[in-house]
Amino acid sequence: MRTDLNKIGKKSTENRFSRKRMWLKKFVILFILQFSGFFTAQSSPDFFILSDKAFQKLYQNPDDCINYSLSILISDKNIEHKIVLRNIISQAYAMKGDYVQSANTASQTEDMGDNNTLSYFMQTFSDYNLADQYQNLDLYNQSQKIITNLLSDSKLLKSDDQKIRITVAKLYQLQALNFGINRNLISASQNLDKSDQYIDNHNEENKIIGFENKIFRSAYLLRQNHLPESKQIIENVILKLEKEENQPYLAALAYENYSRYYFQKGDYFSANNQLEKALSKIEKLPFNALKFRIYESLSKNYLALHNDEKYHEYNKLYIDLKTKIDASTKEGIRYIIKLAESSQNKNIEFQKQNQFKRFWILTLIISLIIIGLIIYFLVLRSKNKELKKQFEFFEKQKKREKTIPEHIQVLKENNILSSDKNIEKDSNKISKEKETEILQKLEEWEESDQYLSKSMSLSMLSAQMGVNTKYLSEVINNNKGKNFNGYINELRINHIAHLLKTDSTYLNYKVSYLAEFSGFSSHSAFTTIFKSVTGMSPNAYIQEITKSRTL
Amino acid sequence: MKFIIKNILILFVVFQISAFGQKIPDDSLMKKARLEIYDNPDKAIDITKNLLKKEKNINKTISLYMLLSTANIAKRDFDESLKYILKAKELTQKTNDLKTQTTVLVSVAIQYQQMELFSKSLETLDEADQYLSQLPDDSQEKYIETARSYAVRGMIYKSQSHSEIALEKFLKSIESFEKIKAEKPTNANKSIVYYNIGYCYLNLNQNDKAEQAFLQSIGCARKNKAKSLEAFALKGIAELYKKKRENQTALNLLIKAENLSKNTGDLVLNAGIYKEMADNYLAMGKQDLYQAYNRKYFEMQFRKQQNELNSINQVIDNHNKETLLKSEDLSNKHQFLIASAAGLGILLIAILLTFIIKIRKQNRKYHKEIQQLIRS
């Protein structure tokens, strides 16, 4: 029975493989769409069709399947495709009873190259592959451990991806087989139920798993001595399979299980009938793992029927095949360690990638927040500068308003005083004297509102004052802290700002008029200079004034 | 049937190893390593490798190498196993003791045969034969090693289903065993060889001779009070009766064998007995009893198989543990990295926020003052 289960397990794993392929395909496409940069390999929906065919061939003729899959494998460079194909080939060898090649194929590590991005599916799939190999080689506990671990991942169970759903179905089926081997038939049946939940009959792969689940269920019912239920299920499966074309493996498996029902009832003749049917289905096909089970059953039936000749014939066939398969299993175990190692390395690699990804996501988020805050900070700072300017402007404006009348007087007195002083001093200070004179003239000029004239320039002013241009320019630079243009512009802006504040009629004028009025050649120059002097645009200024008026 | 043969083989090898062990006294560590071979081969290898570093006695070194080789077979690492076998073989060239040389060579051949490298095994036996021929004709060692050598050859041919050739080798082996004076230690081996002879005759359909051989096997086993060996032989006879369709007689013998084997804990023997009982009940049309014994057979078979896989499980578990450690180490590092990144980020964010709050306050203040200035 155990060997039976093994075989069944192999079949189921093969089914799972095909489903996985489907998943893989979908997954790959999704992945490529999302991270096209990661995958340089060909994204081919064709692969899904090809791998599907390979999977179908697995159940029709393992040798064909191996050749076919190898031919695809050679030309395909996508790592996920390769893993899937290797799985199919490995399954084909397992069906042939060649566990050495099976484990060897499964343990071949892919040359990851530069595209070493492991997808979630790849990770799950390679774990599943390992669990399957463990089961092939009778390491049921190890297989069970891996599957329990995998199935505890709710992300896997809740996935809507059909590829993943079928893999989950296969995992539950595999787990059912593990439980079956440990005689925990109730848990085994429960796992089959769960496996069924993940199956929809949208493709061949799903159908095959469905059939297998039914066959296993019938086998477990038989082992629990629920003969009628077992019979009903297996007869149903056989009826359906008879309608399907070219399903030799599944048909043989079903007949073989049906024979067990008759065997248990003691109807060895009917049992043999079923077995002969099973054998005729796969006689020329290398499904050795299933064949040796059939031989075993046949030899037992003939022993019970006291047909010595046939008993010895089939017993010999059984022993020969079993010897081969046992040897192969033993040797296959040598490779399983390699497979385990490579799978664990992949796990570590996957973990590294995940953590790396998580780290970068976190860093990215934090960096974005920091950049956002820095930008906000800079905005605030520039606003702060503007406000400061505005504040200073308004403060100056206020001061000026208060001081203008006195200032003029004081200035005049000062001038008289200073000129007196200057006269008393050396002729060296003539420049100082002159400077004071110029300043006084400037003061008067400021009062005159002449600066509002568009044509006002340094040369014109110097001509008006009768002072050397250079000298005037130097005096302005030294005393006003800016050149003539800056000086006159500030005067104009101060003037217009003052007017705006004090005379509400100005508030109704257009900015362009105000620009013209204050002696600026263009609107934009006015706006720019206005802003540089007051810290706010003319419009904002007008708004502020209006607001304060209405309050 | 094949599995029976294989297990007898293992039994045989175990006997041989213990015989070999008697010649070179073990220290306790080596004994410990021997005990660990199948349960925890990695540990056995560690212990033995440490012992090897200190060991200077050639004979002991050879036995340590043989031990390493066996432990590696348990791990199914045949490459490593072969490496140590070859080292042991090389070392024997250095000793001038012909007896040791032949003993080691035959042991190496057994090792090869266990690894199913039959041609290598036969090659080594041929080599051993050269040394054997140089041993004085009447020496006990010569008889022992000749008997072992032929027995191994017999096993090889038998596992290749060449019953006739195997039979010839086994008969020669028995011939040599008979010449050994110290009967006691050889009885077990003789019983095993007779049992194999019986099976060869059975395969060749020479039922009478087969029965004779099995009876001899029982005789030898009884002399040593080796219950399991006697049970094996009884099972052999039962197979004869099954063949003759005397199922009840066969069953009687099998029940006797079952009683003998009850306390031996020999899974191979028990599985074999249960299988034969199930077959006989089936032939007698007793489906219930068949089911019961078939279940027992599967249980034994399963346990036997899982026992054999113990060492592999151990190796895989060790790998898993290592991976887990690596993975924990990785996630620790990762957590540290994440924590430092988050910490640094939060610190920077906090600094920026204080600046921002400060500057906003200032802006608000300016704004208010400006408003006041405008309104005034």
pLDDT tens sequence across B201-251 = 988 888 899 999 999 999 988 888 888 888 989 999 999 998 888 899 999
Ordered by where they begin, the domains of chain A are 2-109+118-359 (1.25.40.10), 444-550 (1.10.10.60)
Residue A496's pLDDT is 84
Does the residue B5 lie in any domain?
Answer: yes
Average pLDDT, chain A: 80
The answer to whether A303 contacts B283, with C-beta atoms less than 8 Å apart, is: yes
A7-21, A295-309, A402-416, B91-105, range with greatest mean pLDDT: A295-309
Of B113, B135, B157, which residue is a domain's last? B135
Least confident of A236-245, A455-464, B25-34, B204-213: B25-34
Residue A41 has pLDDT above 90, yes or no: no
The answer to whether A139 contacts B301, with C-beta atoms less than 8 Å apart, is: no
Residue A230 has pLDDT above 80, yes or no: yes
Residue A509's pLDDT is 83
A 10 A CB-CB count for B160 gives 11
Taking a C-beta distance cutoff of 8 angstroms, is the pair A359, B337 a contact? yes
Separation CA B213–CA B202 (nearest Å): 10
Residue in A closest to B159 by C-alpha = A323
Does the residue B254 lie in any domain?
Answer: no
A398 neighbourhood in chain B, CB within 8 Å:
373, 376
Residue B40 has pLDDT above 80, yes or no: no
The residue with tokens 């019953």 is B163
Q: What is the mean pLDDT of residues B187-199?
A: 89
pLDDT tens sequence across A158-194 = 888 777 888 899 999 999 999 998 889 999 999 999 9
A397 neighbourhood in chain B, CB within 8 Å:
373
The answer to whether A326 contacts B2, with C-beta atoms less than 8 Å apart, is: yes
Of B135, B162, B179, which residue is a domain's last? B135
The answer to whether B309 contacts A333, with C-beta atoms less than 8 Å apart, is: yes
Residue A233 has pLDDT above 90, yes or no: yes
Reading the block at residue A504, the tokens are 């509400």
Of A83, A78, A127, A20, the closest CA to residue A343 belongs to: A127
Torsion angle, alpha carbons of A397, A401, A405, A411, to 10 = -20
A204: confidence class by pLDDT, cuts 50, 70, 90: confident
Residue B6's pLDDT is 41
Average pLDDT, chain B: 83
Least confident of A19-28, A162-171, B56-65: A19-28
Bigger pLDDT: A458 or A228?
A228
Reading the block at residue B224, the tokens are 């040593």
Of A347, A345, A38, A354, the closest CA to residue B338 belongs to: A354
Of B204, B267, B195, B268, the closest CA to residue B238 belongs to: B195
* pTM of the entire predicted model: 0.70
Does this complex have an ipTM over 0.85?
A: no
Residue B27's pLDDT is 65
Of B52, B138, B120, the closest CA to residue B88 belongs to: B52
Taking a C-beta distance cutoff of 8 angstroms, is the pair B244, B203 a contact? no
A405: confidence class by pLDDT, cuts 50, 70, 90: low
B10: confidence class by pLDDT, cuts 50, 70, 90: very low
The answer to whether B313 contacts A306, with C-beta atoms less than 8 Å apart, is: no
B64: confidence class by pLDDT, cuts 50, 70, 90: confident
Bigger pLDDT: A428 or A337?
A337
A394: confidence class by pLDDT, cuts 50, 70, 90: confident
Residue A16 has pLDDT above 60, yes or no: no
The residues near A360 (Cβ < 8 Å, ≥ 6 apart) are none
Chain B interface, mutation test: which of A325, A366, A504, most B Cβ atoms within 10 Å? A366
Does the residue B352 lie in any domain?
Answer: yes
Separation CA B49–CA B249 (nearest Å): 53
Q: Give the distance from residue B338's alpha carbon to the nearest chain A alpha carbon, in angstroms.
A: 6
Instruction: Give DSSP secondary structure letters for A409-462.
Output: HHHHHHHHHHHHHHHHS-GGGHHHHHHHHHHHHHHHHHHTTGGG-TT--HHHHH
Separation CA A67–CA A83 (nearest Å): 16
A42: confidence class by pLDDT, cuts 50, 70, 90: very low
Helix ranges (H only) for B24-161 are: 28-39, 41-54, 58-74, 78-94, 98-114, 118-134, 140-159
Separation CA B237–CA B243 (nearest Å): 10
Of B119, B135, B151, which residue is a domain's last? B135
The answer to whether A181 contacts B302, with C-beta atoms less than 8 Å apart, is: yes
Separation CA B242–CA A367 (nearest Å): 83
Of B67, B173, B70, B63, the closest CA to residue B115 belongs to: B70
Chain A interface, mutation test: which of B76, B315, B330, most A Cβ atoms within 10 Å? B76
Residue B235's pLDDT is 92
Residue B24's pLDDT is 42
CATH of residue B3's domain is 1.25.40.10
Domain span holding position B357: 334-376
A203-217, B12-26, B77-91, range with greatest mean pLDDT: A203-217
Of A347, A366, A387, the CB nearest to B345: A366
Does the residue B53 lie in any domain?
Answer: yes
Residue B303 has pLDDT above 80, yes or no: yes
> Residue B137: which H helix or E strand, with range?
none
Residue B9's pLDDT is 42
Does the residue B244 lie in any domain?
Answer: no
Does the residue B158 lie in any domain?
Answer: no
**Any idea what the Cα angle at residue B240 is, between residues B237 and B245, rounded to 5°?**
130
Residue A27's pLDDT is 46
Residue B267 has pLDDT above 70, yes or no: yes
Does the residue B296 lie in any domain?
Answer: no
Residue A351 has pLDDT above 70, yes or no: yes
Residue A114's pLDDT is 45
Residue B268's pLDDT is 82
Residue A406's pLDDT is 52
Domains of chain B: total: 2
Residue A426's pLDDT is 43
